[in-house]
Amino acid sequence: MLRELLHSRSRRRARIAGAALMAGVAAALSLPPWGLWPLALVATAAIYRLLAGHRSRARAVIGLVYGIGMLAPGLFWALSFSVPGGIVLIIAESCFVAAGAVLVPRFRGRIPGFAAAMTLAEAARCTWPFGGLPLGGIALGQAAGPLAPTARIGGEWLIVALVYLAGAGIAEVAAAASCWARMPDQLRKLFATPAALGSPATGTAEAPGDSTDAAGERTTARRFSPLWSGAIALGTVLAVAGLAAVAPNGGHSIGRVHVAAVQGGGKRGFSMFQVDPATVYEAQVQATRQLERVTARKPVSLVLWPEDTIALDGPLTGSFQEAELGHLARRLDATIAAGVTEPVGNTRFLNKIVAWGPAGKVIGHFEKVHRVPFGEYVPYRSFFSHLGSLAAVPRNAIPGHGSGLLRTPAGPIGIMVSYEVFFPDRARSSVRAGAELLVVPTNTSSYSTSQVPTQEIAASRLRAIEEGRDLLQAAPTGYSAAITHNGQLLARSVLGRRQLIIRTLSLRRGKTIYERLGDPPVIILSIAALAAGQISDRLFRRRRRRRATVA
């Protein structure tokens, strides 16, 4: 008997773990490059049901398995750089999801507590350690979905909260529908019998079964309470989505600027140490020279080159690259913004965006602030050197400072260099400083698949919506893109191909709610909702223990 009991428990645990894993995979499939955004709602509804009633240890395991199912596909690209490191990264990131699952209330206050706990867990994952890792986040999967406009109210954390709130609402409504299908007799009693309806005209005493019927009515009502709670959750999501449709979105256009993103093209899946920098640079020059023919009738005002396409072994000042870019800017009568890497001693380098004005002179530059850990620098290098080879990152990038605003003859632009586009504060700082157009010079050439480039496009769309600004992105092998302030993808290049993205974009000065308030409102509301859910759950469990003691 004991063996059968243990065996049945093992099977049940295996089924729950399998369901959690499948829910995680469904969440991953909502992300680019797959982009099946409705699956995020299915996944969150499933994990909401799976967490119900379990103790902390079980919720931690369920959350961990769900996180692995979601982040293993979402961060699969990391395995191409290091299989052991990629596995450790996926498990470590999944631990944040497990922590969020532990915080979800067991019985009462579950809907707000669930949405709040998972939102806070995602926010923590995307900010710590080493600045966080936003790739693989569930908000990226909604960049093309109906919840994307809510980013102009509360940023990506609001999107995450709404996805989990909608999932909980769907799960509760589904539970009520299942209850309805399983209980036809109780429903007939509730809606059809005199005992259920009550008949004060009779004036007769209660029949022996009347108290039982009343208890049954209360039980039935409790069983159908998920319908109301689920409907309220879904109604809240729809209300916020409706508010986003009329919320400030950056305002009207104050000017139009004809822009070009230059993509030199080339093979993908190779690091900067495997490709001759001169080859990358020459590809960019050749593509830029095509602009003279393509834009002869309608010249461009701003030309964007990708990140680190001018890789130097000395200072930019006085180099032939500085002179050649100045010559190109004069020929095009346009501002050219290009990515430059410049060594500083033997162990450090600068990663910056330099702008040449139409007169051919350097008019300004911006140094990348948010560096890629283990890509552009190694934190605690002396420690990590004992765990593996750091030959792929021989020098540390020097962190820059400033808002990202660069004033040019084409207009004030806000710069996010590559990885910075995944962090909303980098766009917000430049817009608050006066940026009227956002640009993203990036370099994703070392990724052999489309996974990271497509997630980067999703991040660019969210930043455009959050700040109410049109956006131009350039990458040496793709994706290069033009995006409107509403997140609409006007054009996207083909990976690996030499290509020019030429569009007319708008300059804007209006402010969104998110640009004004930032992340604190959503974080504070999440903390409050989680606290309220936990208090409600603890009071419920305390009352239940007292009733059990009295019985």
pLDDT, tens digit, 9 for 90 and up, residues 282-296: 999 999 999 988 888
pLDDT above 90: residue 136: yes
Regarding predicted confidence, which is higher, 473 or 2?
A: 473
- According to DSSP, the residues that pair with 373 across neighbouring strands are 377
* In a shared domain, residues 134 and 47: yes
- According to DSSP, the residues that pair with 377 across neighbouring strands are 373
- Domain assignment of residue 159, yes or no: yes
Chain Cα centroid distance, residue 527 = 20
Residue 195 pLDDT: 38
pLDDT above 90: residue 118: yes
User: Is 454:33 a contact under the CB 8 Å cutoff?
Assistant: yes
Both tokens of 337, joined, read 């913004």
Lowest mean pLDDT among 175-189, 220-234, 448-462: 175-189
- Residue 259 sits in a domain whose CATH number is 3.60.110.10
Which pLDDT band, with edges at 50, 70 and 90, does 205 fall under? very low
Dist CA 19 CA 13 (whole Å)? 10
Residue 209 pLDDT: 44
* In a shared domain, residues 526 and 451: no
| Over residues 451-461, mean pLDDT | 97
Residue 205 half-sphere exposure, CB side, CA atoms within 13 Å?
1
* In a shared domain, residues 419 and 541: no
pLDDT above 50: residue 521: yes
Location of structure tokens 């070392």? 446
Which pLDDT band, with edges at 50, 70 and 90, does 134 fall under? very high
- Domain assignment of residue 190, yes or no: no
- As a whole-number percent, the residues of the chain with pLDDT over 70 amount to 89
User: Is 366:341 a contact under the CB 8 Å cutoff?
Assistant: no
Q: How many domains does the chain have?
A: 2
Residue 182 pLDDT: 60
- Domain assignment of residue 225, yes or no: no
If we measure between CA atoms, which residue out of 367, 439, 364, 440 comes closest to residue 409? 364
At a CB cut-off of 8 Å and minimum separation 6, what does 138 contact? 27, 30, 31, 40, 70, 122, 159, 160, 163
CB atoms < 10 A from the CB of 382, how many?
Answer: 7
At a CB cut-off of 8 Å and minimum separation 6, what does 534 contact? 103, 105, 109, 113
For residue 257, what is the enclosing H or E element?
A: strand 255-263
Q: Is the dihedral of CA 485, 120, 33, 48 positive or negative?
A: negative
Location of structure tokens 């820059």? 400
* In a shared domain, residues 172 and 310: no
Query: HEC profile for 56-122?
Result: HHHHHHHHHHHHHHHHHHHCHHHHHCCHHHHHHHHHHHHHHHHHHHHHCCCCCCHHHHHHHHHHHHH
For residue 339, what is the enclosing H or E element?
A: strand 335-344
Residue 201 pLDDT: 38
* In a shared domain, residues 105 and 135: yes
Which pLDDT band, with edges at 50, 70 and 90, does 339 fall under? very high
pLDDT above 70: residue 213: no
- Domain assignment of residue 202, yes or no: no
* In a shared domain, residues 392 and 310: yes
Mean pLDDT, all residues of the chain: 89
User: Is 467:250 a contact under the CB 8 Å cutoff?
Assistant: yes
- Domain assignment of residue 203, yes or no: no
Task: Give SS3 for 30.
Answer: coil
Residue 208 pLDDT: 42
* In a shared domain, residues 302 and 328: yes
- Domain assignment of residue 227, yes or no: no
Residue 385 pLDDT: 75
* In a shared domain, residues 479 and 523: no
pLDDT above 80: residue 356: yes
Residue 181 pLDDT: 59
pLDDT above 50: residue 196: no
Residue 223 pLDDT: 56
Instruction: DSSP letter for 422, please.
Output: G
CB atoms < 10 A from the CB of 179, how many?
Answer: 18
| Over residues 36-46, mean pLDDT | 97
Residue 252 pLDDT: 96
* In a shared domain, residues 278 and 142: no
Residue 315 pLDDT: 95
Dist CA 508 CA 252 (whole Å)? 6
- Domain assignment of residue 139, yes or no: yes
CB atoms < 10 A from the CB of 349, how many?
Answer: 21
pLDDT above 80: residue 214: no
| Over residues 18-33, mean pLDDT | 96
* In a shared domain, residues 13 and 82: yes
Which pLDDT band, with edges at 50, 70 and 90, does 85 fall under? confident
Residue 206 pLDDT: 44
C-alpha distances in Å from residue 66, one per residue of 40, 303, 327: 12, 44, 55
Which pLDDT band, with edges at 50, 70 and 90, does 183 fall under? low
Residue 380 pLDDT: 86
User: Is 360:327 a contact under the CB 8 Å cutoff?
Assistant: yes
* In a shared domain, residues 542 and 472: no
- As a whole-number percent, the residues of the chain with pLDDT over 90 amount to 75
Dist CA 522 CA 528 (whole Å)? 10
| Over residues 206-217, mean pLDDT | 46
* In a shared domain, residues 470 and 538: no
- Domain assignment of residue 529, yes or no: yes
CB atoms < 10 A from the CB of 276, how many?
Answer: 10
| Over residues 497-526, mean pLDDT | 97
* Segment 410-432, tens digit of pLDDT: 999 999 999 999 999 999 999 99
Instruction: DSSP letter for 148, please.
Output: G
Most confident listed range (222-236, 262-276, 474-488): 474-488
Residue 204 pLDDT: 38
Parallel/antiparallel/unpaired status of strands 481-483 and 489-492: antiparallel
User: Is 268:517 a contact under the CB 8 Å cutoff?
Assistant: no
Tell me the residue range of the domain where 121 lies. 9-176+519-550
Which pLDDT band, with edges at 50, 70 and 90, does 222 fall under? low
pLDDT above 70: residue 35: yes
CB atoms < 10 A from the CB of 432, how many?
Answer: 16
Residue 4 pLDDT: 59
